[in-house]
Structure 1
C-alpha cells in the first residue's frame, strides 16, 4: 500500500509550476517510431539513434520542465508480436534518466494490429506513476480513443492555474476514424466551461494532438506557406484529420470550431507529417481579429520516412506575457537552432529572415546525465541503447 508520505510526494512531483524566473518550457517530441524492423539489427540501431536524439535535445534544453510526446511513439506496423508495451521502456528511458515529467498523446501508429494505445496507456500509467502525467479523462469507449485530458500549470506560489495544457487523441491506425471524436469535443467544451466558471476567468491554454487539423491543409493550398512569414520546412502535403478515412475534409469541423471558440487558446501543436515543421495563424474568416496559432513539431525519431534532420520543438511561456505571446523554436540533435518565432498578435505578418538575425545558431551540450554517469561507464545513452539492443537480438536469435 502507498504510505501517506509517498502519496504526498507523488502529488507534489506531479504538480507543474512556472520556474522562479516566471517561465515554463516544454519540449515536444513527435513521431519517434520505435519498434520498426523488430527482428533485425537495423531496427535496434534505428531505435538507438532515436534515443540519442532525445538525449541530446534535452541536454541542450536545460530549462525544459515538461516533455510532451505528441503521437506515434511506436511503429505498430513494425512489431511482429503483441509486445509493443516493452518498447515504451526504451521510449521513456532518456527522459526518465533526467528525472523529467512527461505527457503523451497517442497517435495512429500507436494503435495498430500489434500495438494498442489502450494497452500502452495502461502500461505507462502503472509502470511510471512518478513521471508520467498522461491521463484519460475524456469519454470512455472505443470511439473516443485514449489520452484525452488536461493538465494544469501553476505560478510558483499560486493555487489557481496560470496555464492549461489540453491533449487529444486524433485516433487512426486500427481505428479508421482519424480525427478527434465529436464526443471528445463535447467533453472538451463542457469541461473548459466548468473550469472557466470555477476559476472565474478563461485560463490561457495550449492544445496537443497528433494529426493536423484540416485548416493546416487549407492554408497550405491557399494562401500557401511563405518562408519569410511562416518560417520552417514545408516538405509534404498536409495529412489532415479524416484524410486517411475517406480523403474528404470536414470530419474535424466540430473540433476546429471548438478550438477557435476557446477563449485563451494560444496555440495548437501536431506531428504526423514528418517533413513539415511550420506554424501559421488560422482565422476562420477574414473578419476574425485574433486567429489561432497552429504549429507542427519536428520529426524526432529515425523510424518511418522523412528527410529532415531530427529534433524537437521547444515552447517557452512567460508568466508576465502569457496572454500575449508564445516563443517557440526547433532544436536539432546536433545543437542547431535553425529559427525561432514569436506567436503573437502579429504572427503571420511579421517577416523572419534567419540569416539576417543571427540564425542558424548552435550551442554546446549543457545538461549532464548524472543518472547515466553514475552507472560507472563512459558511454552516452545512445551508445548504451545500441549495445544493449544488439545484444538482446543476438541472444534472442541463438
Structure 2
C-alpha cells in the first residue's frame, strides 16, 4: 500500500507557478507508483488547496489528481483534509467528482446523519485476501476530521464529529454478525488531522525506535481540536469509539503536519500511530524535508504479523523503516 498525503493541488492558479507545482506532484505520484507498484493507494487529505480555487473549476482538479491512478489501474481511497473545504469547493463535491472521474475509487460519502456539519467522508473498505473469500482479511477505515471554511466564510470544527462514534459501534457490531469473530481480521485507520491524544507522544520520541523527520512541533492547529484550548478533547468520542470497538487496529495514520514522518505508540490505548509523508509540491515545506510517500507492506493477513513501513522519497531513497507489530 502506498499513502500519499497533502498533495495540495490548485495553488496559485492565477499564474504559472501553481500549475507547475501540480505537474511536479503528478510526476512524483507516477514515479512512486511505478517503483512501489502498490495493490492499493490512499490519499490522506488535503487533495486541493481550496482557498486558492475558483468556483467554476475547483473540482476539475480532481481529474488531474486521479490521472496517475487511472493510468496504473490501481484501487484507491481518499480522506478529506482541512484545505478541502472552502468557499469555492466542498468535500462532498470532491468525493462525487472523484467517483465520476475514476472507476478505481473506493471513496464514499458517509451515511445520512454521520459526520456532522461538513464532514461527509466517513466510510470503510473491506480487503479480501482472495477473490473467493467470504470474509475480509483487512478493513480500512476512513474518517473525516473536518476543518476548513464553510461557504459563508465561517470556520468549520477541526475534529471528527461525535456522531461518528456511534456509527463505528454499530458498524463493528454488524461486521461481527455478518463476518464472525473479529479476531481473524485486521484494521488500519486513516484520518487527515491527527487525534489530539498524539500531541503528548512527541516529547517522548526515541530516534531509534521512532525514526523519521520530526520537524513540526505539535500544538495549536496541528492536531484535532487544538486551535482553541476550550475545544481540547472534542475528538475524544471518536478516539474512544475507534479504539474500543475496532479490534486488531494495527495502525492509525494521519497527514496534516508536513514536517513529521514518525511512528509511535499512543499510551492510552497502546495503538500505533504514524504520520504520512508530505507528497505535494503545493503546501508548506522546509529545507531538506523532501517529498514522498509512506508505504505499508503487509507480511500476511494474520493480525499478529508485522506490517513493514517506511518513507520513500521521490528519488527512490527510503528512510524511517520500522516493523509495526506487538513488539514495536
Q: TM-score, normalised by structure 2?
A: 0.91
The CA distance in 1 between the partners of 2:199 and 2:34, in whole Å, is 34
The CA distance in 2 between the partners of 1:93 and 1:247, in whole Å, is 42
RMSD: 1.6
1:43 aligns with 2:24: no
Provide the residue aligned with 1:254 in structure 2: 237
Asked if the contact 1:155/1:319 (under 8 Å) is kept, the reply is: no
Provide the residue aligned with 2:39 in structure 1: 65
Q: Unaligned stretches of 5+ in structure 2?
A: 151-155
Instruction: Provide closer, same or farther for how the CA distance between residues 144 and 164 of structure 1 changes in structure 2, counting only shifts above 3 A.
Output: farther
Choose the corresponding residue for 2:177, options 197, 211, 214: 197
Q: Deviations over 1:188-226 (max 9, x none)?
A: 1210121022212112101001000112111113xx221
Provide the residue aligned with 2:125 in structure 1: 151
Provide the residue aligned with 2:3 in structure 1: 28
Shift in Å, 1:248? 4.2
Q: Which has the larger radius of gyration?
A: 1
Matches within 5 A, 1:63-142: 64-128=38-102, 130-140=103-113
How many residue pairs match? The answer is 313
Asked if the contact 2:50/2:85 (under 8 Å) is kept, the reply is: yes
Shift in Å, 1:301? 0.1
The CA distance in 1 between the partners of 2:113 and 2:206, in whole Å, is 41
The CA distance in 1 between the partners of 2:323 and 2:196, in whole Å, is 23
SS at structure 2 position matched to 1:77: helix
The CA distance in 1 between the partners of 2:144 and 2:17, in whole Å, is 30
Q: Deviations over 1:293-333 (max 9, x none)?
A: 10110000011111211000001113254333221111111
Q: Deviations over 1:338-384 (max 9, x none)?
A: 1311011121xxxxxxxxxxxxxxxxxxxxxxxxxxxxxxxxxxxxx
Instruction: Provide closer, same or farther for how the CA distance between residues 138 and 296 of structure 1 changes in structure 2, counting only shifts above 3 A.
Output: farther
Asked if the contact 2:304/2:325 (under 8 Å) is kept, the reply is: no
The CA distance in 2 between the partners of 1:191 and 1:320, in whole Å, is 21
Matches within 5 A, 1:273-288: 273-284=257-268
Asked if the contact 1:102/1:133 (under 8 Å) is kept, the reply is: yes
Provide the residue aligned with 1:382 in structure 2: none
Asked if the contact 1:138/1:184 (under 8 Å) is kept, the reply is: no
Choose the corresponding residue for 1:217, options 199, 220, 231: 199
Provide the residue aligned with 2:153 in structure 1: none
1:166 aligns with 2:141: yes
Q: Deviations over 1:219-251 (max 9, x none)?
A: 113xx2211111111101221101235574211
Asked if the contact 1:139/1:187 (under 8 Å) is kept, the reply is: no
Shift in Å, 1:127? 2.8
